[in-house]
């Protein structure tokens, strides 16, 4: 009887352990959206907690102009933009200073816009509100 209970708890633990990574992967994909060839705008708001970064994945086509406007109350919040190959298109040194950043998309693919806190604030576990306006046309 005791061995059967131990096996039940073992199987239950294994089952829960297998399901947890799938839930995280699903949450990561929830920030993906596609821009079509005509002009579109997306607005996202959120709160960053510690080292957490908010990533948004965009499928863009060559020739589209991507523009990003980031608003943050704290100066330790910044964003970056990467192309499909992982090359940085926007330097991370600049903060979300209510200025619009623009670029022409060099090739088709999945682009990433991520908002995050600087290292010092993230280590302290601080939180920061942000608002991101992304458009492609």
What would the pLDDT profile of 83-133 be if each residue is shown by its tens digit?
989 999 887 666 777 788 999 999 999 999 999 888 777 778 888 899 999
Judge if 1 and 41 occupy the same domain.
Answer: no
Give pLDDT, residue 2: 56
**61-91, pLDDT tens digit by residue?**
899 999 999 998 888 888 999 998 999 988 7
Give pLDDT, residue 5: 54
Number of DSSP helices (H) and strands (E) in the chain, helices first: 2, 9
Judge if 36 and 63 occupy the same domain.
Answer: yes
pTM: 0.70
Judge if 7 and 38 occupy the same domain.
Answer: no
Q: What is the mean pLDDT of residues 10-28?
A: 35
User: Given a cut of 60, is residue 27 above it in pLDDT?
Assistant: no
Judge if 102 and 128 occupy the same domain.
Answer: yes
Structural domain tally of the chain?
Answer: 2
Q: Which domain holds residue 25?
A: 1-29
């Amino acid at each position: 009887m005791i061995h059967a209970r131990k096996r039940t708890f073992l199987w239950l633990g294994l089952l829960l352990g297998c399901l947890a990574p799938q839930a995280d992967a699903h949450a990561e994909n929830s920030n993906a959206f596609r821009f079509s060839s005509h002009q579109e705008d997306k607005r996202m708001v959120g709160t960053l907690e510690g080292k957490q970064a908010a990533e948004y994945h965009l499928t863009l086509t060559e020739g589209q102009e991507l523009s990003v406007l980031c608003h943050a109350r704290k100066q330790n919040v910044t964003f970056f933009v990467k192309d499909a190959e992982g090359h940085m298109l926007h330097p991370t040194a600049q903060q979300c200073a209510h200025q619009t950043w623009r670029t022409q998309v060099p090739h088709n693919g999945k682009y990433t816009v991520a908002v995050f806190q600087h290292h010092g604030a993230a280590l302290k576990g601080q939180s920061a509100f942000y608002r991101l306006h992304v458009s492609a046309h």
